Amino acid sequence: MKDTISKEKIFNHPIEKVWDAISKAEEISSWFIQADFKAEKGYQYTFTSEVNEKGCTTISGTVKEANPYVLVYTWIVADTEIETTVTWKLEAVSEGTKLHLEHSGISNYAGDSAIAMFESFNGGWNGCINQLIDYLKQEVNAG
């Protein structure tokens, strides 16, 4: 078993468009999580989920690499000081764009406390995502 989550997905869209969606703050804020983000090496970013009854979680880290079409940043949940790494790689393919996503360093988390922390994050996250989905639906209906 590897200490890494890997995902691959093909998007039926040009590589530039997908790159903008994963690297520009206003776009990240639309589909993923409220972001103070710049695709510049060394930038200290912050992702903040919207406030709900559980309160919401902050994720922060440093941009390690940001050259089209590779984006790497560290991923630290709340004040855990445990660093994991998220890597986005894009590749132009005939159908559009292939994304390869990796989240590594999960073994850096200490056992029990990390699981408890993440379970609470899970609840908070789902709440925030649902809000986001509602928001996007409204946007689509309005437009």
Partner 1 sequence: MQDRITQLFKAIADPTRRDIFHALVIASTALSITQIANQFEISRQGVTKHIKTLEDAGLIKLDNKGRERFCYANAKPLKELNKWMQFYEQFWGDSLDNLDTYLNTNKNA
Residues contributing to the site for partner 1 (CB under 8 A): 1, 3, 5, 7, 9, 11-13, 17-18, 21-22, 27, 30-32, 99, 101, 103, 106-112, 114-115, 118, 122, 125, 129, 132-133, 136, 140
**Alpha-helix residue ranges (DSSP H) falling in the chain:** 15-23, 25-31, 111-142
Nearest approach, Cβ of residue 113 and partner 1 (Å): 9
Tokens 């406030």 identify what position?
Answer: 51
Closest by CA to 72, choosing from 93, 51, 90, is 90
User: Of 43 and 118, which CB lies nearer to partner 1 in the complex structure?
Assistant: 118
User: Of 3 and 65, which CB lies nearer to partner 1 in the complex structure?
Assistant: 3
Nearest approach, Cβ of residue 13 and partner 1 (Å): 5
Nearest approach, Cβ of residue 81 and partner 1 (Å): 13
User: Of 38 and 106, which CB lies nearer to partner 1 in the complex structure?
Assistant: 106
User: Of 23 and 42, which CB lies nearer to partner 1 in the complex structure?
Assistant: 23
Nearest approach, Cβ of residue 106 and partner 1 (Å): 6
Closest by CA to 125, choosing from 117, 114, 137, is 117
User: Of 18 and 66, which CB lies nearer to partner 1 in the complex structure?
Assistant: 18
How far apart are the C-alpha atoms of 95 and 76, rounded to whole Å? 34
Output the CA torsion sign for 120, 124, 129, 130. positive
Cα 135 to Cα 32, 39, 49, 105, distances in angstroms: 12, 25, 13, 32
Nearest approach, Cβ of residue 114 and partner 1 (Å): 8
